[in-house]
Amino acid sequence: MRMARRMRAARSPDALSSNKLAVLGHLYRGGPGTPGELAEAENQRPQSLTRVFAELEAAGLISRARGDHDRRQVVLTITEQGVAALRRDMGERDAWLAGALGGLSETERDVLRIAARLMERLTE
């Protein structure tokens, strides 16, 4: 939790919210999805993300379209602007993390790599 707070503090003031980044990241990695699929992936209710979806769409970061198989269904897709915004945020985070890791020894960085793989397994 402390690491997440520290990384958030290092972001620019106009950075996207965590929820917005989670939605963009999911769409970037997994391709188009329905609001329900995105909410489930983030362990939230679709209604909780309605405003996030609307704001991302208004900013041109995602687009909405009707489903091919079920025209009642809405499918969300990340736009080129959304990819650029996600990359910008990741770049800021990566720059901060690279600076922080620069002060560690090679052995300490190896330990973190192992811990990261273990934490990834735990989240699956």
What CATH code is carried by the domain that includes residue 71? 1.10.10.10
In this prediction the pTM is 0.79
Burial 87-106 (b: 16+ CB within 10 A, else e): eebeeebeeeeeeeeeeeee
pLDDT digits (tens, 9 = 90+) for 30-68: 999 999 999 999 899 888 899 999 999 999 999 999 877
Using a pLDDT cut of 90, give the percent of the chain over it: 62
Residue 113, pLDDT score:
94
Q: Quote the number of domains for the chain.
A: 1
Residue 119, pLDDT score:
93
Residue 68, pLDDT score:
76
Domain range for residue 117? Answer: 2-123
Q: How confident is the model at residue 73 (pLDDT cuts 50, 70, 90)?
A: confident
- For CA atoms 89, 16, 120, 96, the dihedral sign is positive
- Inter-residue contact 78 to 23 (CB < 8 Å): no
Q: Tell me the C-alpha distance between 86 and 93, whole Å.
A: 11
